[in-house]
Amino acid sequence: MANVAVILAGCGVYDGAEINEAVLTLLSLEQQGASYQCFAPDREQLHVINHLTGEVVEGVTRNVLVEAARIARGNIKPLTELNVTDYDALVVPGGFGAAKNLCDFAVEGAQMSVQEDFLAVARGFHQADKPIGLICIAPVMAAAICGAGTECTIGNDADTAAAIAAMGGVHLDCPVTEARVDAAKKMVTTPAYMLAGQVSEAYAGIADCVKEVLALA
């Protein structure tokens, strides 16, 4: 049985992990016979968004790990406790948290930097020749993790694809129900809510992503 590390970037599509993507990832792992452990960075998230209005909530701070614990039902550990040798693969659901709390793509675009603690862990999996699955917007970090020429997808958004190319990645168009695999880099990506209009569409692509990650493991 493969044992998979899942990194969550908070709780909520606009400022954390996309909840449907996170739950569908865990469901897919379980359905396909893998075990998993959730992790999250123990630090303040970029900002707090009112998910009803879409507006920034001024004067309020939230912790990424504490918020992610909502999704994991409390069964979650700080990212600093993630030991690559204990796991066979890494999967990162999307949501703006991936682009705000794991990196700053949401602010800096192609000039982004990836959080050092997350980057060290992700590169650790790559250097250990273990597969990585990135979902939704998270694939913007693919080249930073696995190097120039890494193939990935966020679906078909032209601006985001251009940013990926500017950062050294190779973008592949992909329908919502599928994943794309860079077998050489052991990188698997799927668009999920970059394209999904329904939960079932996101589920199809995420399940395919998980299947390919486990096959590489």
136 catalytically annotated: yes
Rounded (to 5) percent helix, strand, coil in the chain: 40, 20, 40
| Buried residues in 77-87 as b, exposed as e (16+ CB within 10 A) | bebeebebeeb
Q: What is d(CA 185, CA 167) in angstroms, rounded to the nearest whole number?
A: 16
Residue 59 falls in which region: left (phi positive, over 0), alpha (psi -120 to 50) or beta:
left
The tokens for 178 are 């599928």
The tokens for 124 are 């650790």
Question: Is residue 213 helix, strand or coil?
Answer: helix
Please report, in angstroms and rounded to a whole number, the separation of the first and last CA atoms in the chain. Answer: 10
Q: Which residue is catalytic, options 11, 38, 136, 174? A: 136
Sign of CA dihedral 90, 64, 76, 25: negative
User: Is residue 217 within 8 Å of 204, Cβ to Cβ?
Assistant: no
* Active site residues per annotation: 136
